[in-house]
């Protein structure tokens, strides 16, 4: 699996969780619709052979702000893979939608140049088990460093004050990975998906609580450069403290 080489100004957002139906495509399309409204045109890359994101884009009315679509799940015989996956030069935000069940190799490739990784998770015992494995793979297989601050979780289709919601929040809290939004189980997402829209294309007064959560996600995504800078600073500070400790421990040369 080849991906576009990293570019300094490109926010590569990967939406990932090998569990089907947890809301990856819903999240990817809503983020894309938000960036499209703000401009410049974002790109969405669909790695899922089911092609739901590209299907959504095909349903998108022509009068809505445009989104560049890349069907990464298709293997073209005519073009090289890197040509097929190219992202327009002026793109600032690329949203990558991923398939259910991915190999370790694909996981590494998908996340390699990412600036943000979003993991949506549903509040059921099975989903909590699946997401523990997904996060373990991200940390151990894809070598995503928690301190880089690029990993975040989104609780999806939640009903507050239910036992399963409480269990999910306690579990996510225990991981030490930020929960940046809590999306309700809401027909607004279903309706938007059917029409090729995101919540940002709908009447704000009708979708306000859900819209606010999508905006929280986008605010967090927008902070990717600051998060990266903080991670570098933290790494340098740790390296410096390590060097200081090592210097202190070195035996002093004895004078004769």
Ligand X SMILES: Nc1ncnc2c1ncn2[C@@H]1O[C@H](COP(=O)(O)OP(=O)(O)O)[C@@H](O)[C@H]1O
Binding residues for Mg ion, per CB under 5 A? Answer: 24-25, 48, 52
End-to-end CA distance of the chain: 64
Question: E-strand spans in 167-232?
Answer: 179-184
Backbone Cα Rg of the chain: 20
Of 47, 157, 168, 217, which lies in the binding site for ligand X, with binding defined by CB under 6 A? 157
Given the complex with ligand X, which of 72 and 149 has the nearer CB atom? 72
Question: Strand pairing partners for 68?
Answer: 43
Question: Strand pairing partners for 12?
Answer: 94
Min CB(39)–ligand X separation in Å: 25
Q: Between 187 and 226, how does the x/- string for binding to ligand X read (CB under 6 A)?
A: --xx--x---------------------------------
Min CB(185)–ligand X separation in Å: 5
Name residues contacting ligand X, limited to 23-42 (CB under 6 A): 23-26
Q: Is 164 in the site for ligand X (CB under 6 A)?
A: no
Q: Which segment (64-72, 78-86, 123-131, 180-188) binds ligand X by CB under 6 A?
A: 180-188
Q: Which phi-psi region, left, alpha or beta, contains residue 82 (left: φ > 0; alpha: ψ -120 to 50)?
A: alpha
Give the interface with ligand X as residue ranges (CB under 6 A). Answer: 20-26, 52, 156-157, 183, 185-186, 189-190, 193
């Amino acid at each position: 699996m080849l991906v576009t080489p990293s570019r300094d100004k490109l926010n590569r957002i990967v939406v990932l969780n090998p569990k089907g139906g947890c809301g990856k495509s819903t999240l990817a399309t809503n983020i894309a619709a938000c960036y499209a409204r703000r401009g410049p045109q974002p790109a969405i890359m669909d790695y899922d052979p089911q092609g739901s994101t590209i299907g959504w884009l095909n349903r998108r009315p022509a009068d809505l702000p445009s989104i560049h679509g890349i069907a990464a799940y298709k293997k073209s015989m005519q073009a090289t893979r890197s040509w097929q996956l190219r992202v327009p030069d002026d793109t600032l935000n690329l949203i990558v939608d991923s398939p259910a069940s991915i190999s370790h190799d694909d996981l590494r490739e998908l996340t390699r140049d990412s600036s943000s990784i979003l993991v949506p998770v549903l509040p059921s015992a099975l989903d909590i088990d699946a997401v523990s494995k997904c996060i373990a793979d991200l940390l151990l297989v894809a070598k995503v460093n928690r301190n880089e601050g690029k990993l975040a979780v989104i609780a999806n289709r939640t009903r507050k004050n239910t036992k399963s919601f409480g269990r999910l929040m306690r579990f996510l809290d225990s991981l030490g990975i930020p929960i940046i939004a809590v999306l309700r189980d809401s027909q607004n997402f279903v309706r938007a998906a059917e029409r090729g829209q995101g919540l940002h294309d709908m009447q704000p007064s009708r979708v306000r609580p859900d819209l606010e959560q999508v905006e929280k996600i986008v605010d967090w995504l927008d902070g990717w450069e600051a998060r990266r800078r903080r991670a570098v600073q933290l790494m340098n500070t740790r390296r410096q403290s390590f060097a200081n400790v090592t210097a202190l421990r070195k035996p002093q040369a004895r004078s004769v």
